[in-house]
Amino acid sequence: MLANDYAGRIEVFGRKAGVTSLKISEWSESQNPNVKTRMEEEAKILWSSMPAGTITFVLDERGKSHSSEEFASLIRKHADQGANDLSFLLGGPDGHDPSTRTKANHLIALGAMTWPHRLARIMLLEQIYRSLTIMMNHPYHRS
């Protein structure tokens, strides 16, 4: 599975960049028939699982698109400031509850298009790996 490939790369290469662990958590989507309630329930699950003090990157189509270099710079900034945890939140099929977007440290987009959850996860993992290689001046990323 491609997501596992990138997760493995992050764990191996990340140690060289000071990343001590990678944890991927997944929850079942709410089965509530009301969209608003579903989103609220999913938001409660997401936020209750966040480590105290985590820096949150919420992926949402309303977010800001970044180049790979800009994304790496954001990660580097938080690492340099001593952040212990970075959390990247992918929403359910209905997207994120407005409260999640409001609480986010960073609201980011993988572009203007909507992506299925599994593809978005792979794209995010690849960009995290790419960011680590940029931070370590590894030739994986070519400008």
| Residue 93, domain member (yes or no) | yes
pTM, two decimals, is 0.92
User: Do residues 114 and 61 lie in contact, with contact meaning Cβ atoms separated by under 8 Å?
Assistant: yes
Q: Is 13 exposed, middle or buried (0-12, 13-18, 19+ CB in 10 A)?
A: middle
> Is 40 inside a domain boundary?
yes
Q: Which domain holds residue 70?
A: 2-13+34-135
Domain membership flag for residue 143: no
- How many independent structural domains does the chain possess? 1
Sign of CA dihedral 79, 110, 47, 11: negative
25 assigned to some structural domain: no
26 occurs within a structural domain: no
CB atoms within 10 A of CB 81: 8
44-77 tens-digit pLDDT: 999 999 999 999 999 998 999 999 999 999 999 9
134 band by pLDDT with thresholds 50, 70 and 90: very high
Which whole-number Å values give the CA distances from 107 to 25, 32, 75, 125, 131, in the listed order?
19, 26, 13, 17, 17
Residue 22 in any domain: the answer is: no
Residue 93: which H helix or E strand, with range?
A: none
Residue with tokens 């997401």: 46
For residue 29, is it within any domain? no
pLDDT reading at 18 higher than 80? no
Would you put residue 46 in left (φ > 0), alpha (ψ -120 to 50) or beta? alpha
CATH number, residue 70: 3.40.1280.10
Determine the pLDDT at residue 35: 95
